[in-house]
Amino acid sequence: MMKVIVTGANGFVGRALCHSLIGINYSVVGAVRAADRVGAHEHYGHMVVGDIGGATSWRRCLQDSDVVVHLAARTQNASHPQALAALRRVNVEGTERLAYQAAAVGVRRLVFVSSIKVHGEETCGRSFTVDDALSPVDAYARSKLEAEQVLRRVAAETDMEIVLVRPPLVYGPGVKGHFLRLMRWIDSGLPLPLASVANQRSLIALDNLVDFLILCIHHPAAAGQAFLISDGQDLSTPELTRRIASGLHRPARLWPMPPRLLRAMARAGGKLAWCDRLCGSMQVDMSRTRAVLDWRPPVGVGEAISNTANWYRGQRAVADR
């Protein structure tokens, strides 16, 4: 039985991945920062590693393991020197420490979940391909790129295989961040000035990402590769809004506003980053992924959005009791 270590096992993606691996008879150990962050309902073994950084001891956790899926990361962007140092400590130094210790105890492969943001923030007329230049804009994306570079060095110096996965925005039951914020706004019934937005964005459903990570754990052709993935169907922000609204059984209250005016108002309100994600295009080309691994997303966009909306409505019903 293959033994897989999942870092960040108590996170949005980590929980789903651990549960899926157990369901197909993998031996799973979740590496977590603190024991109190693991719910009583979790049915996988876990091991506490403490704070992640350049001094973290992973050896006990890694012993007799075949593959590591590295999900643990700090995601908050910041400009303060201390916050930047914390971002780099976890995402870069922690990844480097994990990789070298994994190689030292004989781990065969490390699957690293990076981000499409290492390529940049926006596409203009063409999709990102895996061969495109890497041009991260914010501190988080730069830390992910630096971690990728560290892992390539480890692969060159050791026998351990490295697989890099660069997903776009991940959504599904349990989602947080911008996607959850959009669902809450739609659910509130307040109008959204997004009808004039003419963009296209690639997303990845949680179920599809988990399916792909499991493939990367064992597929021989994945070794040494970087992959871009998505649901395979890009959506404009107005279309995404309509689909979420349908799943929530709410009207999609979209009204037109010139994107330039919308962006100016967002800048004045300190919401420019969120506006850029809603109005800009970010598309990925999965042709290399299909060619190398013959992978197709098992869950369609419509089903995935419906599942996410159903989860949200369930949470809302519990809160209303």
Return the higher-pLDDT residue of 195 and 320.
Answer: 195
Predicted pLDDT of residue 310: 96
* pLDDT higher than threshold 70 for residue 117: yes
Annotated catalytic residue 140: yes
* Inter-residue contact 33 to 50 (CB < 8 Å): yes
The rounded distance, in Å, linking the Cα atoms of 37 and 14 is: 12
pLDDT value at position 41? Answer: 52
The answer, yes or no, to whether residue 43 has pLDDT greater than 70, is: no
Alpha helices, H only, 1-138: 12-23, 59-62, 81-88, 94-104
For residues 178 and 219, give the distance between their C-alpha atoms in angstroms, rounded to a whole number: 33
Which of the following is catalytic: 26, 44, 100, 140? 140
Residue 38 has pLDDT above 70, yes or no: no
DSSP symbols for 220-285 = GGGTT-EEE---S--B-HHHHHHHHHHHHT----B----HHHHHHHHHHTT-HHHHHHHHS-B-B-
Q: Give percent of the chain above pLDDT 90.
A: 77
Whole-number Å distance between alpha carbons of 167 and 227 = 8
- What span, in angstroms and rounded, lies between the C-alpha atoms of 302 and 185? 20
pLDDT reading at 48 higher than 60:
yes
Taking 50 as the threshold, does the pLDDT of residue 40 lie above it? no
In this structure, how many other beta carbons lie within 10 angstroms of the beta carbon of residue 272? Answer: 14
Number of H helices, E strands in the chain: 12, 9
| Residues 184-231: tens digit of each pLDDT | 999 999 999 999 999 999 999 999 999 999 999 999 999 999 999 999
Nearest to 112 by CA among 213, 207, 206: 213
Which residue type, as a one-letter code, is found at position 235?
A: L
Q: Any residues with CB less than 8 A from the CB of 264 and at least 6 apart, and which?
A: none
Segment 289-302, tens digit of pLDDT = 999 999 999 999 99
